[in-house]
């Protein structure tokens, strides 16, 4: 029984082979162009963020103390205008903001606007959702291009990341690895979204809670500030000490679980 293609050509005839070889090459070329286009779109996004952050007046809102104070005030006005939907509106601002901007000003804003408890909840939700959305964008725009680079030793690391995704993300979050860098780079790897989501959620809890309580305490102190001695209070010193302590959490957790310190990965054979 002869097989024919959509144009009536026999698949195994010279004309059929030539036609489908051309189609295959066109699809392959289209796939390569799409990979390049995705990377270019991401680079444009990253370049725009870098320009706004370092070469425009917007950057002062994140890079200077006066600017961060102004930023918190602007976010406060927007949130208050949202009325009862203020917390939800703030979470949306946080989620979209950390796609390309530092998270610390948003943590400060959440604590100053909503106080310690509600501010902590909003900050944790916003940070988790923002990190998850960044991961999805990194997976879509960069994974196809990045997996071609993850060969040899990097390929072995990529396979380990898939197997130990939760632990890897959890430890890196505890170690205060740069937030935005981890968000997008994890999307390039084989780490499963579920492992990434829960590793991020539990990994950021200590630092976000501590930072939120710290800023929330500062808000209360500023309202009644009389001198430097007012800073030597339990509500300020304990969060600050815990923040320093959190840096050592990954090593402590590994010792409790009886895990050996990370070792260098042996060179993997090329695939």
Q: What is the pTM of this model?
A: 0.72
Burial class (CB within 10 angstroms; exposed 0-12, middle 13-18, buried 19+) of 203: buried
- 208 vs 156: CA distance, rounded Å: 32
| Range with the poorest average pLDDT among 57-61, 165-169, 203-207 | 57-61
- Whole-number percent of the chain with pLDDT over 90: 23
Mean pLDDT of 61-78: 85
Q: For residue 10, what are the β-bridge partners?
A: 4
For residue 212 the two structure tokens come to: 């939120």
Q: What is the pLDDT of residues 82-124, one digit of tens each?
A: 899 999 999 999 999 999 888 888 998 998 899 888 999 999 9
Per DSSP, 264 falls in state P
- 70 vs 210: CA distance, rounded Å: 23
**pLDDT class of 70 with cuts at 50, 70, 90:** confident
**pLDDT class of 167 with cuts at 50, 70, 90:** confident
Q: Which pLDDT score, from 0 to 100, does residue 143 have?
A: 82
For residue 108 the two structure tokens come to: 């400060």
Q: Bigger pLDDT: 256 or 234? A: 256
Compute the CA torsion angle 127, 128, 129, 132 (nearest 10 deg).
120
Burial class (CB within 10 angstroms; exposed 0-12, middle 13-18, buried 19+) of 77: exposed
Contact 203, 179 (CB under 8 A): no
| Range with the poorest average pLDDT among 56-60, 87-91, 145-149 | 145-149
Q: Which pLDDT score, from 0 to 100, does residue 223 have?
A: 46
User: What does R_g of the chain's alpha carbons equal in angstroms?
Assistant: 25
Which of left, alpha, beta for 8 (phi over 0: left; psi -120 to 50: alpha)? left
Mean pLDDT of 137-161: 77
- Whole-number percent of the chain with pLDDT over 70: 66
Alpha-helical runs (H) found in the chain: 14-54, 60-63, 65-81, 86-97, 104-114, 116-146, 153-163, 165-174, 179-188, 193-223, 234-246, 249-257
Q: Which pLDDT score, from 0 to 100, does residue 215 have?
A: 80
Q: What is the pLDDT of residues 175-234, one digit of tens each?
A: 888 899 999 989 888 899 999 999 999 999 888 988 888 787 766 554 444 445 555 555
């Amino acid at each position: 029984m002869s097989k024919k293609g959509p144009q009536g050509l026999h698949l195994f005839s010279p004309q059929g082979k030539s036609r489908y070889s051309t189609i295959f090459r066109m699809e392959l070329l289209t796939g390569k162009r799409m990979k390049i286009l995705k990377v270019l779109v991401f680079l444009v996004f990253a370049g725009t963020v870098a320009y706004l952050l370092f070469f425009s007046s917007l950057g002062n809102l994140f890079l200077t103390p006066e600017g961060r104070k102004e930023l918190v005030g602007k976010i406060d006005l927007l949130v208050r205008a949202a009325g009862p939907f203020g917390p939800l509106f703030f979470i949306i601002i946080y989620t979209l903001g950390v796609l390309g901007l530092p998270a610390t000003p948003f943590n400060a804003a959440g604590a100053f606007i909503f106080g310690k408890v509600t501010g902590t909840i909003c900050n944790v939700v916003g940070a988790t959702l923002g990190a998850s959305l960044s991961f999805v964008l990194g997976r879509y725009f960069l994974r196809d291009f990045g997996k071609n680079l993850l060969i040899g030793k990097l390929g072995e690391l990529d396979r380990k990341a898939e197997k130990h995704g939760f632990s890897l993300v959890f430890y890196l979050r505890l170690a205060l690895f740069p937030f935005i860098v981890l968000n997008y780079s994890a999307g390039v790897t084989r780490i499963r979204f579920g492992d990434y989501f829960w590793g991020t959620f539990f990994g950021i809890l200590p630092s976000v809670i501590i930072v939120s309580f710290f800023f929330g305490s500062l808000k209360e102190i500023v309202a009644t500030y009389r001198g430097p001695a007012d800073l030597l209070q339990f509500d300020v010193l304990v969060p600050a000490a815990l923040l320093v302590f959190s840096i050592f959490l990954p090593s402590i957790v590994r010792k409790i679980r009886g895990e050996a310190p990370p070792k260098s990965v042996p060179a993997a054979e090329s695939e």
